[in-house]
Amino acid sequence: MSSPKEGDIIAVWFSCGAASAVAAKLTLERYGNLCEVRVVNNPVMEEDEDNRRFLADVQDWLGVTIEDARNSKYPNASAEEVWDIRGGMSFPHGAPCTVSLKKEARQQWEAANISGSPMGPGCWHVMGFGAEEQDRARMFALTERSNTLPVLIEAGMTRQACYEYIVNAGLKPPRIYELKYPNANCVGCVKATSPTYWNHVRKVHPEVFASRAEQSRRLGSKLVRVNNERIYLDELDPAAKGRPLASLQMPECGLFCEEKPIARAT
């Protein structure tokens, strides 16, 4: 792969998580004098509200404005709205909220801000793939954007190292980590199938659990998997457990649509 040249555009996709915050920092340090580095966020209403506070802090830390990119069809950027309109919360090929609020929002931003092709010369993408996510980054480069700069992987920064980096920089991480969620995604992320995850949501955010249970029953989406069988959230035993929360493989919500659910239950 070639490397960025003077005047190229680098879009850093910031998802309000520690990894993409550090990815933005490293990109600005390395390419800020050479390229036009744009830091862009796709908001989702169902994320914890403290994510917005973190975004403002990161903006000050980076010294750049973080751009807001949302799908013009969904100006409220509400996943609940997407699920109602699309008639489901999780389909075999992926979650409709990722497609509508991340992928299509990103495509609209690219169309408005990048002359030429976002896959072509003069344009680069940076995602928050940590050093432990090399397979995912490789797959992403193969299937979505070959012009992706793996800045965290090259720096050997894992997601945990990114978390420590922002703490050492004096930033207060998003509250969602303190609440023991595996990432800064929406509370009650519909890509999760783990009973451990959903019972954690039930305990920490009972109102979100109740809302997801009601909507998923109404729309016929069985979000949780127990003993290899999909069941409705309102059927989940409050004592059911899968893998420990800390071991769930749940990367930050893909700005480039994840085709498969990412959290697996045992």
What does the binding site for ligand SF4 look like in residue numbers (CB under 6 A)? Answer: 44, 46, 79, 95, 97-98, 101, 185-186, 189-191, 253
- Angle at CA of residue 81, ends 83 and 100, nearest 5°: 70
Residue 254 beta carbon to ligand SF4: minimum distance, rounded to whole angstroms: 7
Coil, helix or strand at residue 163: helix
Shortest distance (Å) from residue 18 CB to ligand SF4 = 15
Q: CB-wise, 40 or 97, nearer to ligand SF4?
A: 97
Report CA-CA distances (Å) from 246 to 128, 190, 215: 19, 18, 27
Structure tokens at 141: 């480069």
For residues 203 and 211, the answer to whether their CB atoms sit within 8 Å is no
Instruction: Tell the smallest beta-carbon distance from residue 185 to ligand SF4 (Å).
Output: 3
- Nearer to ligand SF4 by Cβ, of 42 and 147: the residue is 42
DSSP string computed for 211-231: HHHHHHHHHT---EEETTEEE
**Closest separation in Å from C-beta 189 to ligand SF4:** 3
Minimum distance from residue 52 beta carbon to ligand SF4 (Å): 15
Question: Partners of 91 in the beta sheet?
Answer: 94
Q: Which is nearer to ligand SF4, 147 or 215 (CB)?
A: 215
